[in-house]
Structure 1
Amino acid sequence: MAKKQPAAIKPTKTTTSKASSKSAEEKSWYDHPQYFDMVFRDETADEVEFFEDVFERYCKRKVKRLYEPGCGSGRLVAAMAARGYDLVAVDNNAAMLAYLRKRLSRRGLAGELVLDDMTTYVCSPQVDAAMCTFNTFRHLTDGASAERHLRSVAASLRQDGIYILGFHCIPMDADPDCMERWKASHAGTNVSVTLRVIDFQRRKRVETLRVSIKATKPSGQVERIRSEFPLRLYTPSQARALLASVKDVFEIAGIFDFDCDIESERQFDEDLTDAVFILRKK
Structure 2
Amino acid sequence: MANWYDHPQYFDMVFRDETEAEVEFFEQAFERFTDIDVKRLLEPGCGSGRLVVAMAEKGYDLTGLDLSQPMLSYLRTRMRRRKLDGTYVLGDMTAMQFDQPFDAAFCTFNTFRHMLDEASAIAHLRSVADNMRVGGIYILGLHLIPMDADPECTERWKASAGGTKISVTLRVTDFDRKRRQEMLRVSIKAVKRTGQIERIRSDFPLRIYTPKQAQRLLEKVSDVWQISGIYDFDYDIDEPREFDNDLTDAVFVLRRV
TM-score > 0.5 by shorter chain: yes
Partner of 1:7: none
Partner of 1:137: 112
Which SS does the other structure have where 1:182 is aligned? strand
Partner of 1:124: 99
Number of aligned residues: 257
CA distance in 2, matches of 1:271, 1:30: 32
Equivalent residues in 2 for 1:88-127, closer than 5 Å: 88-127=63-102
Q: Deviations over 1:65-121 (max 9, x none)?
A: 000000000000000001110011100000000000000000000111000001111
Match of 2:199 among 213, 224, 247: 224
Runs of 4+ in structure 1 over 3 Å off: none
Partner of 1:163: 138
Which SS does the other structure have where 2:195 is aligned? coil
Equivalent residues in 2 for 1:1-282, closer than 5 Å: 28-282=3-257
- Deviation of 1:189 after TM superposition, in Å, equals 0.4
Which SS does the other structure have where 2:235 is aligned? coil
Identical positions, percent: 65
CA distance in 2, matches of 1:258, 1:130: 17
Q: Deviations over 1:33-77 (max 9, x none)?
A: 000101111110110000000000001111000000000000000
Q: TM-score, normalised by structure 1?
A: 0.90
- Deviation of 1:269 after TM superposition, in Å, equals 0.9
The RMSD of aligned alpha carbons is 0.9
- Deviation of 1:124 after TM superposition, in Å, equals 2.2
Name the amino acid aligned to 1:260: Y
CA distance in 2, matches of 1:164, 1:186: 28
CA distance in 1, matches of 2:7, 2:94: 23
Name the amino acid aligned to 1:81: A
Q: Deviations over 1:129-188 (max 9, x none)?
A: 000001000000110000000000000100111000000000111111100011001111
Name the amino acid aligned to 1:219: T
Q: TM-score, normalised by structure 2?
A: 0.99
- Deviation of 1:122 after TM superposition, in Å, equals 2.6
CA distance in 2, matches of 1:89, 1:192: 27
Which SS does the other structure have where 1:259 is aligned? coil
Which SS does the other structure have where 1:43 is aligned? helix
CA distance in 2, matches of 1:123, 1:130: 13
CA distance in 2, matches of 1:73, 1:211: 16
- Unaligned stretches of 5+ residues in structure 2: none
Which SS does the other structure have where 1:98 is aligned? helix
CA distance in 2, matches of 1:180, 1:105: 34
Which SS does the other structure have where 1:172 is aligned? coil
CA distance in 1, matches of 2:199, 2:142: 28
CA distance in 2, matches of 1:213, 1:207: 20
Name the amino acid aligned to 1:99: Y
CA distance in 1, matches of 2:216, 2:72: 33
Name the amino acid aligned to 1:119: T
Which SS does the other structure have where 2:65 is aligned? strand
